[in-house]
Amino acid sequence: MASIFTRLSGFFSGYEELTDEFYEDLEETLVMGDVGFEATEEIIEELKKRVAKENIKVPDECRRLLSQIVEDRLKEKLSKDDYDFEQGKAVVLLVGVNGVGKTTTAGKLAARYKRLGKKVILAAADTFRAAATEQLNEWAVRAGVDIIRGTEGGDPGAVVYDAIHAAKARNADILICDTAGRLHNKKNLMNELKKINNIITSEYPEAVKETLVVVDAGTGQNAKEQAKEFKEVTDVNGVVLTKLDGSAKGGIVIAIESELMIPVKFVGVGEKITDLKKFDVTGYAAALTGSEELLKKEEEEKKEIASRTTTYETIDGLKEVVIGATEQEKEDAFAFFRSLRKD
């Protein structure tokens, strides 16, 4: 199945008029792309309103409008302190079910903060899965950061406790904890996370606690359900949406933010250590609707105008702007201003 990104980018040019069929097909495309029924209906309503208000007649013009609507919706959910945990001492707790990409994300985040000049420590608090600690250890080596490990089958709380004390002793900026994700017993999971949270609060009160739920974009609506379940058992500050690179269902970002009110903070776009991006709302909305090309074109136009624009300092310190000048004309203008200065 083509991704929602591809489907939407080719969608608008397939219609000549803004008929009911156009809106129905658009609705279907959004729902198929996992935007979710509720959010889709709201988006279509808003689109119709804006089309009437702006007197739009051509379907292709809806592309920019849709992109804007999606961007506005997502921006509403953002807060300026979403990434505050990156500034001071922080403990990042990664939660999520097995296989979504938690350990990989822990490694990618460690590398990201290391690149930003921070001292990072990884904690292998997923003591249940046999290979998890080994796997995290490989990421720690790759990222060039320290790791605190426990014994297999041991107490995850004890690993977090040790890791906090190591973080303090080594003056680390960010402690990233990979946890076990077992959802089959909600009560167990809740108790375990509560225990870990209590340890962080009592042992490291000065650190900002950031809990990120990791979900796999490829699982569509399941990703949203998982995020919801974790939100029910612990305080979740954000979502990491992995495997967006291979996903046909990128619309899940909108469903998660609309229905759960949790911002998507990072997206995984591959298996490499650098394949983790801060979620970029504008870029996402543009890519979703195929407006990316338009944005690129505008950017190129701006650059082109800038390349034809020169500022010169005149004799009285003012700036002269010459637009559209050829190289020769710019040289002449320069010479002219220089000659003025001589007088």
Residues that bind ligand GDP in the complex, under the rule CB under 6 A: 96, 98-104, 135, 242-243, 245-246, 268-271, 275
Q: Which is nearer to ligand GDP, 81 or 271 (CB)?
A: 271
Q: Which is nearer to ligand GDP, 154 or 270 (CB)?
A: 270
Cα distances (angstroms) measured from residue 104 to each of 56, 225, 268: 45, 21, 9
Residue nearest to ligand GDP (CB): 268
Tokens 């920019």 identify what position?
Answer: 64
Q: Which is nearer to ligand GDP, 63 or 249 (CB)?
A: 249
Nearest approach in angstroms of CB 198 to ligand GDP is: 24
**Residue 15, H or E segment:** none
Q: Which is nearer to ligand GDP, 251 or 268 (CB)?
A: 268
| 212/214 Cα distance (integer angstroms) | 6
Nearest approach in angstroms of CB 279 to ligand GDP is: 13
Q: Which is nearer to ligand GDP, 99 or 144 (CB)?
A: 99
Question: Contact 102/181 with Cβ under 8 angstroms?
Answer: yes
| 41/73 Cα distance (integer angstroms) | 13
Nearest approach in angstroms of CB 102 to ligand GDP is: 3
Nearest approach in angstroms of CB 338 to ligand GDP is: 56
User: Residue 244: what residue type?
Assistant: L
Q: Closest Cα to residue 119, out of 179, 175, 177?
A: 175
Nearest approach in angstroms of CB 275 to ligand GDP is: 6
Per DSSP, the three-state class of 179 is strand
Sign of the CA dihedral running 122, 127, 129, 130: positive
Nearest approach in angstroms of CB 288 to ligand GDP is: 18
Could you give the dihedral angle defined by the CA atoms of residues 21, 23, 24 and 30, in that order, rounded to the nearest 10 degrees? 140
Q: Which is nearer to ligand GDP, 4 or 100 (CB)?
A: 100
